[in-house]
Structure 1
Amino acid sequence: MVDVRYDIAFRLYPYERVQTQGAARQRVPVVIVGGGPIGMAAALDLGRKGTPVLVLDDHEGVGQGSRAICFAKRTLEIADRLGAARAMVDKGVVWNVGKVFHGADQVFEFNLQPEPGHEMPAFINLQQPYFEKFLVDEIRVAQKEGAPIDIRGRNAVTGITRHADHVVLDVGTPDGPYQIAADWVIACDGARSPIRDMMGLSFDGRVFEDNFLIADVKMTAEFPTERWFWFEPPFKNSGQSALLHKQPDDIWRIDFQLGWDIDRKAELDPARVRERVDAMLGAGADYELEWTSIYTFQCRRMKKFRHGRVLFAGDSAHQVSPFGARGANSGVQDADNLAWKLDLVIKGLAPDTLLDSYSAERVHGADENILNSTRATDFLTPKSETSMTFRNAVLDLARRHAFARPMVNSGRLSVPCVYDGMPLNGPDALGGPAATRVGAPCLDAPLDRGFLLNRLTGHFTVLSINASAPDIAEVDGVPVAHVTLTTDRNDPTGALAQRYLGTQPQAVYLIRPDQHVTARWPGCDTRAVTEAVRQAIGKAA
């Protein structure tokens, strides 16, 4: 990576000497290794639930360069529950329209705007350092409110020793090493995960024989706020594909496909980068290079994400190609899935086997993302003459015929996976809409006051629509909240009925803390809810 100049390197958690350094070994419930967006989201979620958590990061704040820039609606909904979404949307660039070109010709355009009645937009573009900053800002708010979250910058984990009931970490600091013991460790330390390497765990999959140049440029341009993607672009030395879209602060992200056999040092020379950018933007374009990097597509994952008391999340557990924005978005969903389960285990409200479901569900999600990412990569970089002929035929057809447009794959954008067939799922006895079936993430809907997802605040929730539900406050010590709505009073647009009832007159949904549907019925009693909650916390009979 070449760091030309970047203005949003935040020093969020400056190094401070650990007070217990040199004293008896400290033991904490949870240590998160890695202070990126996945680690900070998990820390914020656990801390707000009252579970003490310590974050160790080898830097003092966010890294430089924009890295992830495209955050999907589901990530924004998770961030909203954590308190960080409003800052993200206010700072980010909201976009809905994408255009696809083949050579100089536009093939078609698409609009990602979701159906009306969602609080969050389909996507925003926002540099990853801002996302990390907004999460840390919210952690500071939570700390003032008493959330037990500690962050230690320039504390690098250098060794790990696993025991039956805890893990010991060796930590290096500017003032020397120390050790800390943790009941549980969450490894969020990136695609080159030192924790994974120290444990000798595999990271299997495909490395695609291609390289892509990222150039973030600062300019005031008249381009619309859209995602433009070129197959075989017409500008000089642009490679097989190119991508352009806008970020905050007048930053534009440009990707150029370079091919496999390249001189990386030569391609990162600023003069060479400028030659490519000038060819795209036109002679005399006024811009500054902010950040450049070359990346190689990889689609890989660990065989499982739980290894005893060490749990892997984000890029340390799985890696996908960036087209489709599945990296950070899927990692945030990892944190969302893991935090409530680990919290219940630590509080003694669920068996630790519940954490096996974290691995099962998120491996399922990773496989779905890898499949979609691999298909996009194969479409972008055909590996044979036959594949190239097929791709170009699809592009030619898409100019004139709508049926071919879904076959064009310039990186189909991230959507959350549905946990179909997973062990925690309860009964689906409603016969309701498929989009809100058991295992699916809840869809938002406008209510007479606010939006539905704002009512689902991180607990198990019984959502009753035109139906009565049993008065049950807890199951085996696990709190159960209630949201009771009627379509005549609370559903001004009809979206609630459309998304949750379909043709049914009434429904009762049981929603998990991560806003996934775990059971639904046309009506139910105390026993049904109790059994479904027990199923969802790993206590099924």
Structure 2
Amino acid sequence: MLQDRYQLAHRLYPYARSVDQDAAEPVRHPVIVVGGGPIGMAAALDLGLQGVPVLVLDDHEGVGQGSRAICFAKRTLEICHRLGCAEPMVDKGVVWNIGRVYHGADEVFEFDLLPEGGHRFPAFINLQQPAFEKFLVERIREAQAQGAPIEIRGRNRVEALEMAGDGATLDVLTPDGPYRLAADWLIAADGASSPLRNMLGLGFEGQVFKDSFLIADIRMKADFPVERRFWFEPPFREAGDSALLHRQPDDIWRVDFQIGWDVDRKAEMDETRIRARIDAMLGEGVEYEIVWTSIYTFQCRRMAQFRHGRAIFVGDAAHQVSPFGARGANGGMQDVDNLCWKLAAVMRGDAPEALLDSYDAERRHGTDENILNSTRATDFISPKSAISRTFRDAVLALARDNDFARPFVNSGRLSMPCTYLGGGLNAPDALPDAPRKASPGSACPDAPLGDGYLLDRLGSRFALLAIGVDMPEAVSAGGMALQVVAVPRDASGPLAERYLGDAPRGVYLIRPDSHVAARWPDFDQAALEDAMARALARKDAA
């Protein structure tokens, strides 16, 4: 098997003995995150920036091997911007908005994922997962220097777990031997195989699709455009039944080949065989270096519940989807965005534990949306019957010249922010004539505001956005002071287009994760108090 040839600084948090290892009794921590991948590190950073003490346990000492996830969506970049680490990611990443779909040698159509202006971030960047992780860890180091209560322990592997009503007890193995820890709250971010999930006797529900895909990252100089290219039945059929090409930073290119189910995986991972596929795609004489390879199958599965008492599962530990659509890591970042403000509010005493049940409800809804899109993509990319293949080929033929057919072409519906329709935190929509994309439950569309952007002004707490409405200088609700962003109707430009549409004015209550909780045509303190009670799970939805 080929060796990974990425050159990365892996020992970002080398093992060091902790005083906890010498304690007579297990030392108790407010929050322990198990798993030092991008989702676990993002959760630790988010909580730490809110002043919540958090300990990360990772069985390695730094970022993982191989590029794995490479497509990070606009919503993920907005979350990372709130956490203070998006800028280096965008600077390093390959920015793209355009995708092209081919059938055989013919281009079927192209699409633009961000056709309108006035956004801080592009639709996607391509960035190797280890680099994404590294930027998160570097931001944690910066936050630690500024006083954020975050600790990372490398080569601390959890061997056993006991849950109780008030928390968890963990048996941890280190190079110096075992020790025990206790936690008020446990966040399981330990990946698709999730030892913690197995320790609790929990499983996945869903489907594993009978098909295999070979992915390879190659280093080469090429002048291909910066865009996503997907081929159904490519002209280089000896390479695979479908193919995908993406550019990454540092002259690395990702290629995916559909190779079928009944294949000898060991033989397919032979370098000679891999090179034969790549040569068929690129043509003879193109020089390249293979830096990483893997074979995967489509899996669309999730846990029945993401919260089990004081143990909360995030990312791949909670759910798995196929890579087409870039919904895995991006979905995990939405888990973090949804969970951390709620956990911090519960720990501060601002909300009951019932608020965490809304994490389970909302993110299961988001996962089901991802699974539905991934399943449909799988069925279109890899039809399992003659009728399905006939339908797919007919759609592709029609889409060349007919706009109406293009929405039916599915090479992977790319990740979009989830609209939370469940969980009970939304107030009834009192501004129904305003755009649907900003309705309660939706992620806030960003827009230019002054010399910056709206999301910059919202911060990480509850906020009120008022457009064309006279507002008090200070507003409190639910015992909390709210951030107030007041904008004149005639000075708001794209902001008004995205939040008002034909409505003359409006007021929005926005959660700390920048999702809309409620909206009204005017400011109403009583309605605001009611909406805050709902958003903090102090009151059931009507």
Alignment TM class, shorter chain as reference: over 0.9
Which residue pairs with 2:494 in the alignment? 495
Moved more, 41-50 or 400-409: 400-409
Q: Normalization by structure 2: what TM-score?
A: 0.97
Q: How does 1:463-482 map to 2 (within 5 A)?
A: 463-470=465-472, 473-482=475-484
Which residue pairs with 2:447 in the alignment? 445
Judge conservation of contact 2:489–2:505 (CA < 8 Å) in 1. Answer: no
1:231 shift after superposition: 0.7
Question: Which amino acid in 2 is paired with 1:500?
Answer: Y
Which residue pairs with 1:459 in the alignment? 461
Question: Which amino acid in 2 is paired with 1:528?
Answer: A
CA distance in 1, matches of 2:476, 2:311: 29
1:512 shift after superposition: 0.1
Question: Which amino acid in 2 is paired with 1:437?
Answer: S
CA distance in 2, matches of 1:92, 1:222: 17
Judge conservation of contact 2:365–2:422 (CA < 8 Å) in 1. Answer: no
CA distance in 2, matches of 1:261, 1:242: 18
Question: Which amino acid in 2 is paired with 1:465?
Answer: I
1:9 shift after superposition: 4.8
Q: How many residues align?
A: 538
SS of alignment partner, residue 291 of structure 1? strand
Q: Deviations over 1:42-63 (max 9, x none)?
A: 1111000000000011111111
Which residue pairs with 1:519 in the alignment? 518
1:106 shift after superposition: 1.3
CA distance in 1, matches of 2:67, 2:75: 20
Q: Deviations over 1:493-533 (max 9, x none)?
A: x2111111111221110000000000110113222212211
Which residue pairs with 2:59 in the alignment? 58
Judge conservation of contact 2:357–2:423 (CA < 8 Å) in 1. Answer: no
CA distance in 2, matches of 1:224, 1:488: 40
SS of alignment partner, residue 496 of structure 1? helix
2:104 matches 1:103: yes
Structure 1 residues 49, 19: CA separation in 2 closer, same or farther (over 3 Å shift)? same
Q: Normalization by structure 1: what TM-score?
A: 0.97
Which residue pairs with 2:179 in the alignment? 178
1:472 shift after superposition: 5.2
1:22 shift after superposition: 3.0
Which residue pairs with 1:265 in the alignment? 266
Structure 1 residues 501, 436: CA separation in 2 closer, same or farther (over 3 Å shift)? same
CA distance in 1, matches of 2:273, 2:400: 33
Structure 1 residues 333, 143: CA separation in 2 closer, same or farther (over 3 Å shift)? same
Question: Which amino acid in 1 is paired with 2:436?
Answer: A
Question: Which amino acid in 2 is paired with 1:462?
Answer: L
CA distance in 1, matches of 2:9, 2:102: 34
Question: Which amino acid in 2 is paired with 1:21?
Answer: Q
SS of alignment partner, residue 75 of structure 1? helix
Moved more, 358-367 or 274-283: 274-283
Question: Which amino acid in 1 is paired with 2:440?
Answer: V
Q: Deviations over 1:417-437 (max 9, x none)?
A: 111253011131112111100
1:102 shift after superposition: 1.1
CA distance in 1, matches of 2:427, 2:111: 37
SS of alignment partner, residue 20 of structure 1? helix
SS of alignment partner, residue 27 of structure 1? strand
Judge conservation of contact 2:362–2:422 (CA < 8 Å) in 1. Answer: no
Q: Deviations over 1:117-143 (max 9, x none)?
A: 111111110001111111111111111
Which residue pairs with 1:16 in the alignment? 16
Structure 1 residues 343, 479: CA separation in 2 closer, same or farther (over 3 Å shift)? farther
1:166 shift after superposition: 1.4
CA distance in 2, matches of 1:421, 1:485: 30
Which residue pairs with 1:506 in the alignment? 505
1:4 shift after superposition: 3.4
1:115 shift after superposition: 1.2
Question: Which amino acid in 2 is paired with 1:538?
Answer: A
1:237 shift after superposition: 2.0
2:399 matches 1:388: no
Judge conservation of contact 2:443–2:516 (CA < 8 Å) in 1. Answer: yes
Judge conservation of contact 1:465–1:485 (CA < 8 Å) in 2. Answer: yes
Q: How does 1:127-526 map to 2 (within 5 A)?
A: 127-431=128-432, 432-470=434-472, 473-489=475-491, 491=492, 494-526=493-525
Judge conservation of contact 1:422–1:439 (CA < 8 Å) in 2. Answer: no
CA distance in 2, matches of 1:271, 1:244: 20
Judge conservation of contact 1:169–1:179 (CA < 8 Å) in 2. Answer: yes
1:405 shift after superposition: 1.2
CA distance in 2, matches of 1:187, 1:508: 37
Q: Deviations over 1:138-196 (max 9, x none)?
A: 11111111100000111111110011111001111111011110000000111100000
SS of alignment partner, residue 102 of structure 2? strand
Question: Which amino acid in 2 is paired with 1:536?
Answer: A
Question: Which amino acid in 2 is paired with 1:376?
Answer: A
Which residue pairs with 1:28 in the alignment? 29
SS of alignment partner, residue 336 of structure 2? helix
SS of alignment partner, residue 72 of structure 2? strand
Judge conservation of contact 2:421–2:441 (CA < 8 Å) in 1. Answer: yes
2:40 matches 1:42: no
Which residue pairs with 2:74 in the alignment? 73
1:478 shift after superposition: 3.5
Judge conservation of contact 1:470–1:526 (CA < 8 Å) in 2. Answer: no
Report the identity percentage: 64
1:477 shift after superposition: 4.1
CA distance in 2, matches of 1:472, 1:205: 49
1:476 shift after superposition: 4.3
SS of alignment partner, residue 65 of structure 2? coil
CA distance in 1, matches of 2:206, 2:11: 35
Q: Deviations over 1:264-301 (max 9, x none)?
A: 11111111111111111111110000000001110000
CA distance in 1, matches of 2:281, 2:403: 28
CA distance in 1, matches of 2:51, 2:481: 14
